[in-house]
Amino acid sequence: MDPKTYKFDTISLHGGYMPSKNAGSRQVPIYQTTSYLFDDVDHAAALFNLEQGGHIYSRISNPTVQVLEERVAALEGGTAALATASGMSAIFLAIMTLCNTGDHVVVSSQLYGGTVNLFRLTLPKFGIKATFVKPRDTEGFKKAIQENTKCIFGELVGNPGNELMNMPEIVKIANEAGIPVIIDSTYQTPYLFKPLEHGADIVVHSLTKWMAGHGSSMAGILVEGGKFDWLKTDKFPTMTEPYEGYHGLSFAEEFGPVAFTMKARAEGMRDMGPCLSPQNAWNVLQGIETLSVRMEKHCSNALKMVEYLSNHESVAWVSHASLKDNPDYELAKTLLPKGTGSMIAFGIKGGKEAGAAFIDNVKLASHLANVGDTRTLVIHPASATHSQMDEATLKLANMSHDMIRLSVGIEDIDDIINDFEDGFRAAKKPRLVANK
């Protein structure tokens, strides 16, 4: 006897949506509207006071966006989800929902550059400070926790160096300290890894990347695991104590396993408003429909690229957890049995000049500031995505100037390799190419 709840591929196509409640429309309708009619004054008051569920204003919620939220919650195994305008706004919203002025967070040092700057420069303006810890330094996460620490934040596989956090061990550390773990799982998607199943409490995605895949739309999301007991500690008074903004509501008491999402929406979307447009939600839904088949191809192409790069005379080093000599190989085998993802970092012989020549001479691979597109993407992080970081922060993130970040697409692998051959050829004579 087994449960007959829908499985991953079915949820990718159907999750969060019932045609019978939408005029029989097989495709999810785009509710391009700002606001929603109230039945009467009593109904309006009930919606505003969270006595009843429903939509009020599209900054807070929207029926098309709701389908996306439920679909991603289902794929991640979460109790609830809240979609946002971008991955960055999802991270900001998560921190602002948990933290007050004077609070502290422990953060992996290997993150997308924008996230590093959020924690290093922007959040301190709100009185929220961060301690950065190298992703492989598990003990360092424990040592960095202070009395006022409110969460641990990281990417399982760090951007751009591809170093893994030992998530199960870090979860144990967080549990002992009574704080939640937030994982940015953009690189993995729930197809490769479900952080909530490994003890994380909140998952963040930039849906712009692999989840959508098409590179057409910005979107982010927060997913709640529902297991963190806010009432067990006095660390989170804004979750547990009466909130003036909703007539004395205690989010934790009333909403339990969805308290974080309810607060992030009721307070965060109301007051900060980083809402996702229904059109972009719909665009992302189109991508999620094919998530499994795309991720399989991303991963198989990535393995071929790892092999190709590892044996190439112009490549100084390759970082990908599928390599047996990678320090994270065993951990990746445990946590990522379906594949270690399609992000590869490699060093090009000849340093920064050679890297620039390589990037300027590939034609199929696109040079741009994105990852997780179905098309192959390359960038030189030190001069682009992570260029606003100083030398010390670059060193903490283990980033070198010869590093090229590769997001392997789902094109024919022979075409990607042929393109890279052109790039490497040019990289051997960078000055000649530059002069030309």
Partner 1 sequence: MKFSVNKKEVFASTGGRPFDKQKPLIIFIHGSGLSHITWVLQTRYFAFHGYSVLAIDLPGHGYSEGPALESIEEQGKWISDVIDSVGVKEASLVGHSQGCLVVMECASQFPDKIKSIGLMGGAGAIPMNPELLELAEKGDPKAVDLMMDWAHGPAGHFGGHPVPGLHHINLGGSIVINGSVKNALGVDFRACDNYKNGFEAAKKIKCPAINILGDRDRMCPVKEGKKLADNITGSEVEIIENCGHMILLEEADKSLAILKKFIRKNHPAE
Residues within the interface to partner 1 (CB under 8 A): 1-6, 14-18, 20-21, 46, 49-55, 60-63, 65-67, 69-71, 73-74, 77-83, 225-227, 229, 231, 246-250, 253-258, 261-262, 265
Buried b (16+ CB within 10 A) or exposed e, 275-303: bbbbebbbbbbebbebbbebbebbbebbb
Q: Least distance (Å) from partner 1 to the CB of residue 91? A: 17
Give the residue with the Cβ less far from partner 1, 79 or 166: 79
Q: Least distance (Å) from partner 1 to the CB of residue 200? A: 14
Give the residue with the Cβ less far from partner 1, 160 or 278: 278
Q: Least distance (Å) from partner 1 to the CB of residue 226? A: 4
Give the residue with the Cβ less far from partner 1, 139 or 254: 254
Give the residue with the Cβ less far from partner 1, 205 or 265: 265
Q: Least distance (Å) from partner 1 to the CB of residue 366? A: 34
Give the residue with the Cβ less far from partner 1, 249 or 305: 249
203/90 Cα distance (integer angstroms): 10
Give the residue with the Cβ less far from partner 1, 31 or 420: 31
Q: Least distance (Å) from partner 1 to the CB of residue 244? A: 12
Q: Least distance (Å) from partner 1 to the CB of residue 28? A: 10
